[in-house]
Structure 1
Amino acid sequence: MTPNLIRQAAVVLSNLLTFSSPADAKLSEFFRNNRELGTKERAFVAESVYGVLRRLRFLSTVTANEEDDPDDARKLILAYLLRVQGMSIRELEPMLNEQQKEWAHMIKAKSTENLPLAVQADVRDWLWDKLVAQYGEKDALAIGRSMHEQATLDLRVNTIKGNRDEVLAKFISENTSGETNISRTPYSPIGIRMPNRMNIGRHVLFTEGKIEVQDEGSQLLSYLVAPKRGMMVADFCAGAGGKSLAIGALMRNTGRLYAFDVSEKRLHNLGQRLKRSGLSNMHAQVISSETDPKLKRLNGKFDRVLVDAPCSGLGTLRRNPDLKWRQMPEDVAELNVKQTNILARAAKLTKTGGRLIYATCSLLNDENEKIAEQFLATHPDFKLLNAAEILAQQHIELDTGNYLKLLPHLHNTDGFFAAVFEKTQAVHEAGTDQADTEASAVPAQVEGAAVEPAVMAEADEAEPKAAKPKTAKPKTDKPTVEKAKAVKPKAEKPKVAKVKAAKPKAAE
């Protein structure tokens, strides 16, 4: 580690703390502009700035000083190295000037006894209040602390091209260090977990399409869809297509799988993944919104419809820590309207006896149970199915009740929610021409896009799709009263595109 490396990490962090665009995008831009940095140097910068974002309230507390600027990124980097990474002042002294040495001693000596629980959890007050109301104080703190750590690297084995035992054996044979850090995922029957982050995008198993990067929670969602051979299935908010590809593999390349999304870019990027996958039953279609007229001819046609809805992404904070400083209650309220409308439109696509699956990567009741309950109240032609029973039918023993509810501190996955509804009776849709043929609405299959595998390996890690918080710099809450002095909001609220994690390398 060199003084210059600490300075570069601080430069990146200063840029990230404006919260004007996704953290991973800014970090990628920095690396493109500083290609002379080696792998270790890039890893240090990435881990340091993401470490600060994960612990921003705590680190803002230990760097706060009335005589100094509490927003100084160098102090936050120092605080991360000293108070989170556990480095000693002696280790850092050769890289620090006199002013920075004073900071280091001040940071090391700062007491952190009796910190408010929201500061210990490292979340904003509004989010803390919601978590406590839902889960209780003890579990809310456990959830917050579980988000302080990096997520594991989870891989999904593409059963069209390989099997888990074969893939696992290859990885173990390559693990020359002797560390036993490669294992089967505890719930998904096609998952492999690798705690150490690595650049999987150039591995032969990835380039041959035998594996995809995908969190175990996302893998389980495809089993909750439970598609059967020959079915007609829709992924209504497909994004970069990770769940679509998993569903297609479960269908064993039979039937017809539609991937819909409002983003042409995301569906275009799906092309390269599709080519690697070996799937031939997938069709992708850009739609203008959930009310796109081209969907009308598909009403009542689908055996399964998955709505992986745009959400706050607050279940993915291990990968996207900047989201907890960007999202505000008003953003969640806006998303609730979208979620309700999208789910209602997707219901029309579902045939009698078919299933509609609603999912988010959020921890909040507002985006989860409340949306599901509201849907049932306004759609008497649907009933709720038990998620645990559906998984048990596929030999997956995971019982979280009627709904699938995954939490990082309990399941070591991203935070996920899913509800499964079954359509029990047909409802006449005025203006729908039942004579319209299914074929008349078949979209063309997406062509492969020229995307680097290393980039696409990160495309579907968390997928908090279309969660566009409009907040500016966070009014980061003070540890001793209400608000911490980490970042002072002055910029206009940015519209945030889909956020992906920017770890040294790895993804969904």
Structure 2
Amino acid sequence: MKLHRNLVDALIEGLSFIFNDGQYADKVVEKQLKKDKRWGARDRAFIAETMYDIVRWKRLYAEIAEVHSPYNVHKLRRLFAVWATLKGISLPDWGNYFEDTPLRRIKGRFDELSKTRKLRESVPDWLDDLGAAELGETLWTNELHALNQLAPVVLRVNTLKTNKERLQIFLKQEGYDSFPLHNYPDALQLAERGNVFKTQAFNDGLFEVQDASSQKVAPFMLIDSSVKRVIDTCAGAGGKTLHLATLMQNKGQIIAMDIYEQKLQELKRRARRNNIYNVETKLIDPKQLKRMQGTADRVLIDAPCSGLGVLRRNPDAKWKLRPEFLDEIHATQQEILQQYSKLLKKGGKLVYATCSILPSENQKQVAAFLASEAGKDFKLEAEEIILAHQSGYDGFYMARLSL
């Protein structure tokens, strides 16, 4: 593989935005890819994939390169040199671009440092300690390794417009091979990663990109003909909301709520593309919540969380998370459960879900709620713990409570 300086420069600049300025990796990648319109698909893939790779393995590469924060250009070039050397890519002679890179020591250092889990899997000390304490050493080791693998691209077929077989044909015509997933009724996985957002099938609203684990949440709510009103309390941009709408076949009413207007606008845009008409968006307002008490047949609480289950697609979260955030999020999760459970009518069902793998955000939150005054009339019907190393997809948790 031949390295091109303008691509490496764009990559180094992007890493500086992420590591030094605290910007989100996905936004930085998006911005860097727009720097030169002449770049082809291979150039753009190189920048995006390499940037995510170095973000994912930052701690390990930094230890090998013997560099520490803050990361100036020289240090970032050393990080890149470690990545390239470990991939078997020869460093070009660009003057002093890669000066003082410990080329001969890189592979030896990699082998030595890889004996220690927190370095091998590239996580902060506190996160490694927490994961081991909550999941146990063996489970945490396996899960952490799985969360460092590249996530496959999984699509959810919009069954209001097409089916899996037809969508496979449409995608094949546009150059994308895919295959159905066993036990995921609406899922297709791409045989190779690719930018399906540019396909005609996507523009026509025939599918959404949604991880297989996330696709389990809407069916877990047991939507049937008796369900007339669903409230999605933390809808965000609406991946699960749209799935619920297809299960309800555009009938009944879904109220999608969030504290961010921008996310709800994105949900409206997606709903239009999907030909979904039974979704009403609402900004969360305490007065409105009071009026809606006891009105929902189903309530979904897709709670804010640490996001540890989705580290494969958001590797920079490892470096942004702080121990104190977890304390805050535990309080928020319980507060949301206590508050939004009041929206459910007698005989209804509530689903609490997170994209976390930590019992403190999952089983323990549900147990605390059931033991509280607000949760005393609820019963735990079912729960599912999805671990990435067992499923091959995101780590997830969901619990269904009945009233």
TM-score, normalised to structure 2, is 0.92
More moved, 226-235 vs 314-323:
226-235
Question: Match for 2:209 among 188, 197, 213?
Answer: 213
User: What's the secondary structure of 1:110's corresponding residue?
Assistant: helix
More moved, 134-143 vs 298-307:
134-143
2-structure distance, mates of 1:65, 1:22: 22
Question: Match for 1:199 among 174, 192, 195?
Answer: 195
Partner residue of 1:453?
none
**Correspondence 1:374 to 2:354:** no
Partner residue of 1:327?
321
Partner residue of 1:82?
85
Counterparts of 1:360-399 in structure 2, within 5 Å, are 360-378=354-372, 379-386=375-382
Superimposed CA distance per residue, residues 359-381 of structure 1 (whole angstroms, 9 cap, x where no aligned partner): 11111112111111101101110
Partner residue of 1:352?
346
2-structure distance, mates of 1:189, 1:276: 21
1-structure distance, mates of 2:185, 2:66: 48
Partner residue of 1:278?
275
Question: Match for 1:23 among 22, 25, 34?
Answer: 25
Do the aligned residues in 1 keep the contact of 2:154 with 2:190 (CA within 8 Å)? yes
Superimposed CA distance per residue, residues 381-432 of structure 1 (whole angstroms, 9 cap, x where no aligned partner): 000012xxxxxxxxxxxxxxxx211122111111111111101xxxxxxxxx
1-structure distance, mates of 2:6, 2:102: 17
Question: Match for 2:235 among 229, 235, 238?
Answer: 238
**Correspondence 1:121 to 2:121:** yes
Superimposed CA distance per residue, residues 111-144 of structure 1 (whole angstroms, 9 cap, x where no aligned partner): 5326321112221122212222233322212212
Do the aligned residues in 1 keep the contact of 2:349 with 2:400 (CA within 8 Å)? yes
Counterparts of 1:114-153 in structure 2, within 5 Å, are 115-153=115-153
Do the aligned residues in 2 keep the contact of 1:260 with 1:287 (CA within 8 Å)? yes
1:233 CA drift (Å): 0.5
Do the aligned residues in 2 keep the contact of 1:346 with 1:356 (CA within 8 Å)? no
2-structure distance, mates of 1:113, 1:106: 11
2-structure distance, mates of 1:147, 1:97: 36
Do the aligned residues in 1 keep the contact of 2:179 with 2:191 (CA within 8 Å)? no
Do the aligned residues in 1 keep the contact of 2:77 with 2:98 (CA within 8 Å)? no
Change (3 A) 1:57 1:251: same
User: What's the secondary structure of 1:93's corresponding residue?
Assistant: coil
Letter in 2 for 1:9: L
1:33 CA drift (Å): 4.0
Superimposed CA distance per residue, residues 3-29 of structure 1 (whole angstroms, 9 cap, x where no aligned partner): 332232112112211252312222323
Letter in 2 for 1:414: D
2-structure distance, mates of 1:247, 1:364: 26
Do the aligned residues in 2 keep the contact of 1:19 with 1:326 (CA within 8 Å)? no
Do the aligned residues in 2 keep the contact of 1:122 with 1:145 (CA within 8 Å)? no
Partner residue of 1:308?
302
2-structure distance, mates of 1:98, 1:381: 66
User: What's the secondary structure of 2:156's corresponding residue?
Assistant: strand
Letter in 2 for 1:92: L
1-structure distance, mates of 2:127, 2:384: 22
Do the aligned residues in 2 keep the contact of 1:264 with 1:286 (CA within 8 Å)? yes
User: What's the secondary structure of 2:394's corresponding residue?
Assistant: coil
Do the aligned residues in 1 keep the contact of 2:29 with 2:51 (CA within 8 Å)? no
Change (3 A) 1:252 1:101: same
1:93 CA drift (Å): 3.5
Partner residue of 1:337?
331
1-structure distance, mates of 2:61, 2:17: 17
Change (3 A) 1:81 1:194: same
Letter in 2 for 1:8: A
2-structure distance, mates of 1:98, 1:134: 44
Do the aligned residues in 2 keep the contact of 1:2 with 1:95 (CA within 8 Å)? no
C-alpha RMSD of the superposition: 2.1
Do the aligned residues in 2 keep the contact of 1:120 with 1:141 (CA within 8 Å)? no
2-structure distance, mates of 1:194, 1:47: 17
The runs of 5 or more residues in structure 2 that have no matched partner are none
Letter in 2 for 1:265: Q
Partner residue of 1:92?
91
Change (3 A) 1:2 1:348: same
1:251 CA drift (Å): 0.5
Do the aligned residues in 1 keep the contact of 2:67 with 2:75 (CA within 8 Å)? no
2-structure distance, mates of 1:102, 1:248: 55
1:270 CA drift (Å): 1.2
Counterparts of 1:41-52 in structure 2, within 5 Å, are 41-52=43-54
**Correspondence 1:297 to 2:285:** no
Superimposed CA distance per residue, residues 212-245 of structure 1 (whole angstroms, 9 cap, x where no aligned partner): 1111111110111121235210100000011000
Identity across matched positions, percent: 33
Instruction: State the number of aligned residues.
Output: 394
1:303 CA drift (Å): 0.7
**Correspondence 1:186 to 2:182:** yes
Change (3 A) 1:258 1:65: closer
The runs of 5 or more residues in structure 1 that have no matched partner are 387-402, 424-508
Superimposed CA distance per residue, residues 310-345 of structure 1 (whole angstroms, 9 cap, x where no aligned partner): 111111111110101110111011111111111111
TM-score, normalised to structure 1, is 0.73
